[in-house]
Amino acid sequence: MENENGRKIILTIRLIRSLAHRNIRLLVLRQVPQDITVSALFDLIFATISLDPKFKIFAAMKPKADTLKIYSRPQSHKTQNLAINIGDDEELVLDSSKKLSDYKIGSETELSLFLWSEYEEFCRNPDAQRASFGH
C-alpha cells in the first residue's frame, strides 16, 4: 500500500435496484483512492457498471440512485437485515462533498447505493414485500 494520502482500497458496492424486491448485485471496485470524494465515487461506480454487460440492468439506476451508505466495515458486526443497514443514518450516510477518508473507510468496506425515497419507504415497513410473497 502507498502512504496514507495515496492509499488505494478495495470496496464492495451493493447496487440496490429495489429494496422491496431485494434486487441487489455486488460490484467490487479495486484500486480506489481513499481520498476520493463521495461524488467522484458515484461517477466511478456508474462509469464501471456502464462498461460491464452483466450490470446492464443496473446502469438505469444512474438518474435515480442518490445515496451511498456504509453497510459494513471489515472486522465489525453486520446488520441483521440482508437488504440494507437500517438506522444510524446520520453516521453512515455519506455526504457527496466529503472524502471516503473523512469517514475512515478502508479496504473491504461494503457500501450500499440506493434511492433515498425508496429507503424511507422500506424503513417504515421492511417486511411488507416479504410478507406478500409468503416468506
Residue range of the domain that includes 89 = 4-132
Task: Give the residue from 133, 96, 121, 129 showing the smallest Cα distance to 111.
Answer: 96
- Tally of structural domains, the chain: 1
Grid cell digits, residue 112: 450500499
pTM score of the predicted model: 0.83
| CATH number for position 35 | 3.10.20.90
pLDDT in tens, 4-30: 557 999 999 999 988 888 889 999 999
pLDDT at 131 over 60: no
pLDDT in tens, 83-129: 787 888 999 999 999 999 999 999 999 999 999 999 998 888 866 65
Helix (H) / strand (E) element for 91: namely helix 89-92
Sign of CA dihedral 89, 91, 94, 96: positive
Query: Quick one: pLDDT at residue 128?
Result: 61
